[in-house]
Amino acid sequence: MPTADALPPTRGRTDPAPRAAARSAPGRLLAVLAAFDHTHPALGLTDIARRAGLTLTTAHRLVGALTEWGALERDADGVYHVGLRLWEIAALAPRGLALRQVALPYLEDLYEATHENVQLAVRDGAEVVYIEWISGRSAVGVHIRVGARWPLHATGVGLALLAHSEQAFQEEYCDGPLAAFTPYTLTDPGRLRRQLAEVRRTGTAVSSRQITEDALSVAAPVHGRNGTVAAAVSVVVPHLGAQVPALIPAVRLAARGISRALGWQPGRP
């Protein structure tokens, strides 16, 4: 699973904001916000302008407007950070804080049953985005941040989400570039398709040594009210000695509990 010193590549995104997006007023504002990420949580005005592909004058004007509104905050050293106003807005996202609040009791139960790393994630395009995690006691170096992204094919939660996505999207994803992180990462389209079929058959995804060679994850899909897969939950354990058959029921129980809390009813089409 992801480690503190490993940052995943992204599919279909440029770093940090395409200059084309800066040609319109909304695009320029979004480019300023996109200049911030997990590796650049604090930026000076010059860095914002450079990463957003804007002139310093334009960046100064837009940063001032965003700071006045509360989207950015400026500290005593003149360095800018993402503001609380954005957190307030983001909390309204049904796949963000609201989902975390519903899921947290079941994630805590899963942690108490395993004392291992527990994660909750959603799909955003070709990537999995982690929205909650509970750190376990194992030696596996999992240092997930809320908002961290990884390619779908390389994680347990990603496989669970990909397997239940639209068929056309699955085909497009399998035919696209599949990044490798270890010798065990699924990079063969045929093997990936067979793995996704197995996930759908069993209702569980097992990802072994795909991101780091010492970790294994067991994941299960979380269904929303209308029956579609809204998220995935997983537990991450050391690869050596992993008791997968014992972990599967616990993970599926947590996923089913979250699904019911979201309004899902078993047997509903």
Classify burial at 239, counting beta carbons within 10 Å of its beta carbon; exposed 0-12, middle 13-18, buried 19 or more. Answer: middle
Question: 207-254 pLDDT, tens per residue?
Answer: 999 988 889 999 999 999 888 999 999 999 998 888 899 999 999 999
Q: Which pLDDT does position 14 carry in this prediction?
A: 43
Q: Which pTM value belongs to this model?
A: 0.72
Instruction: Give the CA dihedral 90, 133, 15, 62, nearest 10 degrees.
Output: 30
Mean pLDDT over each residue of the chain, to the nearest integer = 86
Q: What is the DSSP string of 39-106?
A: TBSEE-HHHHHHHHT--HHHHHHHHHHHHHHTSEEE-TTS-EEE-HHHHHHHTT-TTTHHHHHHHHHH
Q: Which pLDDT does position 240 carry in this prediction?
A: 84
Question: 56-90 pLDDT, tens per residue?
Answer: 999 999 999 999 999 999 998 899 999 888 877 77
Q: Which pLDDT does position 145 carry in this prediction?
A: 66
Question: Does residue 51 contact residue 17 with C-beta atoms inside 8 Å?
Answer: yes
Q: What phi-psi label fits residue 141: left (phi over 0), alpha (psi between -120 and 50 degrees) or beta?
A: beta
Residue of 152, 144, 154 lying closest to 208 (CA atoms):
154
